[in-house]
Amino acid sequence: MLSFCKIIRNDREKSLSLLSGWAEQFLYLTGGMMKKKQKKQIFVKCILIAVPVLLLVLALFHPVEVREGEEFVVSYPRFAAAGSTVRVETVSVSGGELSFSCSADEVKRTGEGLYEFRMPARKVTIYISVITDEERGFGGS
């Protein structure tokens, strides 16, 4: 059960396929010992257990989306639990500076190309653009 919780926390899509895989494998292993009606009953019970778990996962985790500038992002979580710290890593840009903004409260720059924020209980959208040295007034001639 502990490994299942860890998988759910890290990747919601893998969790969904894992649950359906467990149900299929259980039916396959017990296939020779049960009648068709019994298999169907067990499958329905597996689904009745899986659906509330999936709804719980959907309620606890919220999406993190990069709307603009995805080509500048090295890594970020696709989903995060409310209250958790989300870390976004971006590339370094020569001849300019990245402008990082998002719909979360209190975004902190923790290093070169590293940003953090506390995940709210809603979807977060990230916007990244490049401000060149010329646009900032540092360009040559």
Specify the pLDDT at position 26.
Answer: 64
Q: How confident is the model at residue 61 (pLDDT cuts 50, 70, 90)?
A: confident
Say how far apart CA 41 and CA 6 lie, in whole Å.
29
- pLDDT of residue 43 exceeding 50, the answer is yes
**Mean pLDDT value of segment 21-45:** 69
pTM, 2 dp: 0.59
138, 123 Cβ separation under 8 angstroms? no
For the chain, the distance separating the N- and C-terminal CA atoms, rounded to the nearest angstrom, is: 64
Specify the pLDDT at position 89.
Answer: 92
Question: Could you report the per-residue pLDDT of 71-91, keeping only the tens digit for each?
Answer: 888 889 999 998 999 999 998
Question: Could you report the per-residue pLDDT of 92-120, keeping only the tens digit for each?
Answer: 887 778 888 899 988 999 988 899 999 99
Specify the pLDDT at position 6.
Answer: 47
The answer for residues whose C-beta is within 8 angstroms of residue 26's C-beta and 6 or more apart is 42, 46
